[in-house]
Structure 1
Amino acid sequence: MAEPERLIEVHIVTPDGLIYSHFGRILNIRAIDGQREILYNHLPILTPLSIGDVKVTRSQANNGVVDHIAISGGYVEFSDNVATIIADTAERARNIDVSRAEAAKARAEKRMQEAREKHDQQSFDRAEIALRRAVNRIDVYNRR
């Protein structure tokens, strides 16, 4: 008899509520200090996350489908085979409005150029973060 599949629970929460909740075999995240892969019985961790793509490889019963979720940073807490990601924003790839993301990218690039011309570092930094978020959303949409 085959051994039961070892799965972890993955929950992604934003101020708007629960965005994602499924079981998976593998959770891939981008922590501020690099890529992390979390599997069943991983040691407990609490770590800050960067703007990036959260990838959840689902169970073999789901044909190992990979769900992609764009997040704008946050934290992940993992213990007892439950991963909870708390993010300012999170969007599943299938829910991303790519034309809106591309418009946000264009606006951010324009604001960066204006800030560069005015030597306004604070505005430049804010626009650069907006650009990273928009590019991330576009990339996650294209991976679906």
Structure 2
Amino acid sequence: MANPEHLFTVKVVTNSGVIYDHLTSIIDFRAVDGQRSIQFNHTPLLTPLAIGEVTVKRSREMSQRVDHIAVNGGYLEFSNNVATIIADSAERARNIDLSRAEAAKERAEKRIKEAEAKHDEQSIARAQVALRRAVNRISVYNRYKH
């Protein structure tokens, strides 16, 4: 069993409110400069997040539970053994609607093709971000379900 003194709090907040708030032994996430992990008593940190998955490993007696969260940009701040993720948008894997995510992926791919035909670089860039977000949600959902 994990020692309670070696757990820390993870909160994920969006403009809709707090979507996640648990104790953890370690979190893994993608910052804009690469993959990172945080454990108890990590050095204070403020870093921008890339579109990616956040995994939260929660110790429960003899087993480890892992929560998967699709995060679409934002910031992670860690201090005093509290990790706060302020995300542009985020969804726990168990709450992702796969058919909605797949439809968003198809829409983004269609918008990219249309923007490329018009040589509209700004629209291409926006559609590519939408595509990365949709693919991230699908990927997190699939990892959670398997």
* Range class of TM-score, shorter chain: over 0.9
Partner Cα distance (1:26, 1:60) in 2? 13
Shift of 1:62: 7.0
Classify the secondary structure of the residue corresponding to 1:64.
strand
- Please list every run of 5 or more consecutive structure 1 residues that lacks an aligned counterpart in the other structure: none
**Given the two structures, how large is their TM-score scaled by the length of structure 1?**
0.96
Distance 1:61 1:67, change over 3 A: same
Moved more, 61-70 or 122-131: 61-70
Shift of 1:45: 0.3
CA RMSD in angstroms comes to 1.3
Shift of 1:3: 7.7
Match of 2:136 in 1: 136
* Structure 2 counterpart of 1:73, one-letter code: G
Matches within 5 A, 1:5-24: 5=4, 6-24=6-24
Match of 1:44 in 2: 44
Match of 1:100 in 2: 100
Partner Cα distance (2:65, 2:17) in 1? 24
Partner Cα distance (1:62, 1:14) in 2? 32
Deviant stretches of 4+, over 6 Å: none
* Structure 1 counterpart of 2:80, one-letter code: D
**Given the two structures, how large is their TM-score scaled by the length of structure 2?**
0.95
Match of 1:59 in 2: 59
Match of 2:3 in 1: 4
Aligned length: 143
